[in-house]
Amino acid sequence: MFLAIFKETAKKIVRNKKNRLILILSVIGIVLYATLAVSDNENILTVDKDQIELETYAEYGQKESRLDAGDIAVNSFTGLDTYSMAKREYELNYSFLKAINEGDITRLVDLQTSQTPSFLMEDVHKYLDEKYAGDFQMKEFERVAIFQQMDALAELDSVNTHIYNNKSAFQQLHSFFTGFGPLIILFLTIFVASEILTDDRKHRTIKSGQPLGFRKYIFYQSVTVFLIMTAVTAALVTLFILVTGLLYGFGPLSLDVTQYAYQDGYRGEETNFFDIPLSTFLIQSGVLTVILIYLFIRINAVLSLVFRHDIVVMIIGFLLVAFNRIYSGGSEETLLGLPAHIFPQNYFEFGNILNGVQNYLTMSDRFTFMNGLIVLAVTIVVIEIILYIIIFWMDRQKFERAVG
């Protein structure tokens, strides 16, 4: 019986012109993103060759002029002299310039983990000011993350230009999940699932004589949509990895990525930051993706029974996914007087959980992968109970009359 429902539902999804259009647009979007957007990706700590040359010559000229003038005495107020400062800056800049001229990216990374040129620090602050405007907290988080990422690169045996500029396939997949990736996947899931049940009941003659309870039928249909959406998502992610990997390399799964859990003291204290392997991050992202796809398919079933109109179901589903962004951005420590980490909407954009942003914003250590699994599992149980109850009120006959 399941196989018959699977074939029928799968045929309906595949034959839907809107679904095919979305799939085609997704493939085109992946190719365009990999070939155009990723090609322009550049590490914020990238040293401009022309600028470092100018800085090197300027510091060299200042060093030599002070030496010729004999002005190398220590200033009694600062404890420094301009000659020594110019000499130190010149030697640092020259080391950077030499590494760039030789194309030695590994050496460049090592230099940046020891000391960043002052002019480059100014570029970092300008970048953060433009990106986050008055959001001091996120500016501080990304500042630490930028330099932690450089430290992580320094731990690799070798670093090429693509890895340095965050272009490799697995690095880009990390950026996808920490960005809009989870929302995109959930929006696509809702788009496909929203009309399955309502559209199905518009064609009652197809279902005539179906020897299966309504509850079991809805469950089989949900499992079918879940399997198809999981397979399509996996296929699109695989395509993303292959296209990006062929263009820029696949990158190291051993690379560490930033994580955060508040322990003590100032929010931005570097001791609150730590690293997890990129492979761990991607595995956890995959697990949460699968759970959320199933959750929203079952939520769509509930909404379909209550509202009985695919457009309404889709809009409400979109609003549920975007609830945090609409309501607050997810920065509350409590919600309705309860700890925020027990509410499922905080885990929809799970990239912010796995990289610690949610902990950082709420000064917490409770937004974790394991807590996310527990909260989402409980949410699924609650949705299943609600669905079980609703089917007593909205049985097959009443639903067919309401939709038809």
- pLDDT score recorded for residue 158: 85
The string of DSSP codes covering 144-189 is HHHHHHHHHHHTSS---HHHHTT-SHHHHHHHHHHTTHHHHHHHHH
> Residue 170 half-sphere exposure, CB side, CA atoms within 13 Å?
18
- Please state, in angstroms and rounded to a whole number, the distance separating the CA atoms of residues 183 and 188: 9
Nearest to 66 by CA among 95, 80, 87: 87
Angle, CA 297 vertex, CA 320 and CA 343 arms, to 5°: 40
Q: Which DSSP letter does residue 35 get?
A: I
Q: Is 21 left (phi over 0), alpha (psi -120 to 50) or beta?
A: alpha
- pLDDT score recorded for residue 205: 45
Neighbours of 82 (CB within 10 A): 17
| Helix (H), strand (E) at residue 17 | helix 17-32
With a CB cutoff of 8 Å and minimum separation 6, the contacts of 216 are none
Both structure tokens of 24: 């085609």
pLDDT tens for each residue of the chain, 404 residues long? 788 888 888 888 888 899 999 999 999 999 999 999 999 898 888 888 888 888 787 777 766 776 666 655 555 555 566 667 777 778 888 888 888 888 888 888 988 888 888 778 888 888 898 888 878 888 889 999 999 999 999 999 889 999 999 999 999 999 999 999 999 999 999 999 988 777 655 555 444 444 567 788 889 999 999 999 999 999 999 999 999 999 999 999 999 999 999 988 888 888 899 999 999 999 999 999 999 999 999 999 999 888 878 899 999 999 999 888 877 656 677 777 788 899 999 999 999 999 999 999 889 999 999 999 999 999 999 999 999 998 877 655 555 555 54
- pLDDT score recorded for residue 223: 94
- Please state, in angstroms and rounded to a whole number, the distance separating the CA atoms of residues 374 and 66: 66
- Residue given tokens 């799968």 in the structure block: 10
